[in-house]
Amino acid sequence: MQSGKFAGVPVATIAGITVTVTVFAISQGLSYPLLSFILQRQGMSPGMIGLSAAMTPLGFIVSSLAVPALSRRLGAGRFAVACALISGTILAIIGWQQNIWLWFPLRFLLGFFANPLYVISETWLLAVTPAARRGRIMGVYTSMISAGFAAGPLTLAIVGTEGWPPFIVGVAAFALCAISLLGVLGRLPDISGDHGTSVLAFVRLAPLILFAVFTAAAFEQVLMSLVSVYGQAFGSPEERMSLLLTVFIAGNIALQIPFGAIAERIGALNMMLICAVGGLLGALLLPYVFTTPLIWPIAFLWGAVAFGVYTMALVLLGERFSGAMLITGNSAFALFWGVGGIVGPPVTGSVMSQIGPQGLPLTLGAISAALCVALIIAQRRRPS
């Protein structure tokens, strides 16, 4: 029997879902830098490496449109387990056939089959989470995903980036993901019924939430992809930039749970606005603090508010939709996350090419400002 603050919360089920996605995130966080390192050793240009990496989010985008229908036809549980096993097989083939041209379709397929694991897991989590605890539980969930992604590069530091060891770790993580799913399937609700609308039609139902997902993805991918280029303009060594990204991720991991608790008190929409304002302030301050010790606490908070936008979007999705519509909504989330990840870095890179390194904070500030305006308009339109 559950009691106290956990009364009514299916702790074992939520823990099972969260562990499953965390293990999966480790494999994803490992594969991105691993394949980039291998391509660098093969003498590939940065442009070719970036184009190869873009195949995975492209797979995310394409599969987002198909997840609801495939979940209906195959059953969400069986589909998720199959995706974990197929993703592990694809990663093994990538390790076996280290051919850049073959990697293009393989990385696309990796994104196509990996994406449903996020969509279905987030749908299950929103479906079983009590409304009164949704903010904190979504905070735990997003913190664990971030920790999983951060553990991927750490794993490479331990096992290295050459030969089969890193690929074995990634494939084993996918297999463990499938095993974890099988362990909790009996406790999970059926989310594979009639969804009532398509993913593209869902965009008209929740444009603000989906725009928030787009901005969170663009923000994160821009920083991960281009902050090293920004640092070069100031003569910052690679070690300092790597540490800065680590601090950014650490803030993301540490503060999502407190943000979720605050959202339960003041509302997820208000908390999202606070995060968007924080993102704007961080962009405005970056040029002035980048070479000072203040960059470390600001990077910590900046990472927290940047991803906090996504956490609040999940909470709002759970508040507004229920039942089978959740899987359509989460598929739309994956679609917009993929679009934000593909659009953000090249647009920002183009601005930096035109006006110099300050194009990075300028673009990130513009993204945050646009979200702030959209949220303020939405709040004024809400009934009292």
The mean pLDDT of 232-236, rounded to a whole number, is 83
Q: Tell me the pLDDT tens digit for each residue of 298-307.
A: 999 998 999 8
The mean pLDDT of 317-335, rounded to a whole number, is 86
Query: Which parts of the chain fold into alpha helices (H)?
Result: 11-41, 46-53, 55-64, 67-74, 76-96, 100-128, 134-159, 165-184, 199-205, 207-233, 238-266, 268-289, 295-320, 325-355, 359-381
What confidence score (pLDDT) does residue 2 get? 42
What confidence score (pLDDT) does residue 265 get? 93
The mean pLDDT of 318-342, rounded to a whole number, is 86
d(CA 216, CA 214): 6
For residue 208, pLDDT beyond 90: yes
In Å, how far from its chain's centre is CA 151? 14
Lowest mean pLDDT among 6-15, 33-42, 136-145, 295-304: 6-15
What confidence score (pLDDT) does residue 3 get? 39
pTM beyond cutoff 0.85: no
What confidence score (pLDDT) does residue 193 get? 57
In Å, how far from its chain's centre is CA 126? 16
What confidence score (pLDDT) does residue 5 get? 46
Structural domains of the chain ordered from first start: 1-193 (1.20.1250.20), 194-384 (1.20.1250.20)
Q: What percent of the chain has pLDDT over 90?
A: 29
For residue 99, pLDDT beyond 70: yes
Q: What angle do CA 182, 183, 189 make, to 5 degrees?
A: 80
Instruction: Report the run of H or E that residue 323 belongs to, with start and end.
Output: none
Average of per-residue pLDDT values in the chain: 85
Q: How confident is the model at residue 286 (pLDDT cuts 50, 70, 90)?
A: very high
What confidence score (pLDDT) does residue 188 get? 74
Q: Please tell me which residue, 309 or 353, carries the higher pLDDT value.
A: 309
The mean pLDDT of 54-71, rounded to a whole number, is 86
Q: Name the DSSP class of 234.
A: T
d(CA 240, CA 244): 6
Angle in degrees, 0-180, between the axes of helices 295-320 and 325-355, rounded to the nearest 10: 150
For residue 214, pLDDT beyond 60: yes
Burial pattern 59-81, b for ≥16 Cβ within 10 A else e, equals bbbebbeebbebbbeebbbebbb
What confidence score (pLDDT) does residue 383 get? 59
